[in-house]
């Protein structure tokens, strides 16, 4: 049996409990920790961050995408993701748990 990291959470004020697993759970935790500042792939260098954001949105989480310009040798734009939903991590899963 494969052990997968997971958390149980609900969207406040009246969302039902849901289980988020793997990288989706890790991304949700990083968004919660980032707060109003949000995060970018520079600060959270994980593969497929946009896909994890897409999956979390599909679960009902409201996540804002802010387009930011950057300079340097390769100027362009990147996304900053900010969690808008109020999320409650359920008490029995406040610590990292393995299923």
Measure the CA angle with vertex 59, ends 27 and 69; round to 5°. Answer: 50
> What's the pTM value of the predicted model, to 2 decimals?
0.85
Distance, CA of 61 to CA of 81 (rounded, Å): 12
Query: How confident is the model over 35-64, as pLDDT tens digits?
Result: 999 999 888 888 899 999 999 999 999 999
Q: 22-34 and 49-58 are packed helices; what angle lies between their axes, rounded to 10 degrees?
A: 90
Distance, CA of 56 to CA of 54 (rounded, Å): 6
Residue 42, judged by CB atoms within 10 A of its CB (0-12, 13-18, 19+), counts as exposed
Query: How confident is the model over 68-84, as pLDDT tens digits?
Result: 998 899 999 999 999 99
């Amino acid at each position: 049996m494969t052990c997968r990291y997971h958390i149980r959470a609900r969207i406040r004020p009246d969302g039902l409990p849901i289980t988020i697993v793997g990288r989706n759970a890790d991304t949700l935790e990083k968004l919660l920790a980032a707060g109003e500042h949000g995060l970018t792939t520079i600060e959270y260098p994980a593969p497929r961050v946009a896909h994890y954001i897409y999956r979390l949105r599909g679960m009902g989480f409201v996540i804002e995408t802010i387009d930011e310009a950057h300079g340097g040798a390769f100027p362009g734009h990147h996304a900053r993701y900010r969690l808008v939903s109020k999320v409650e991590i359920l008490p029995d899963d406040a610590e990292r748990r393995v299923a």
